[in-house]
Amino acid sequence: MAGVAEAHVIVSGRVQGVWFRGTTQRAASAAGVRGWVRNLPDRRVEAVLQGERAAVEIVIEFMRTGPPGSAVIDCVVSWRPVGERYHGFDIRY
């Protein structure tokens, strides 16, 4: 997948129960980014974002702030080689 970047993102703070996953899915779909997002048992949110690097960075910037009602404390981004190829953007449970 030439030109495709992949980022693993962990977000902490008040990021569950505030529709963080749904709004991340919306932001990713609007930017043409594929991958997934899910809640973690420790109340953080995890995501894998895949697409053109500029588009992935747009979604990361959204995740650094989150939707109304959220309070992001930290957003850790790890760029990595593209692994599994995703089609669409899913909320995982």
Residues catalogued as catalytic: 21, 39
DSSP bridge pairs for 6:
50, 80
Residue where the block lists tokens 């974002």: 49
User: In residues, how long is the chain?
Assistant: 93
Assess contact for 23 and 66: CB atoms under 8 A.
yes
11 φ/ψ sector (left φ>0, alpha ψ -120 to 50, else beta): beta
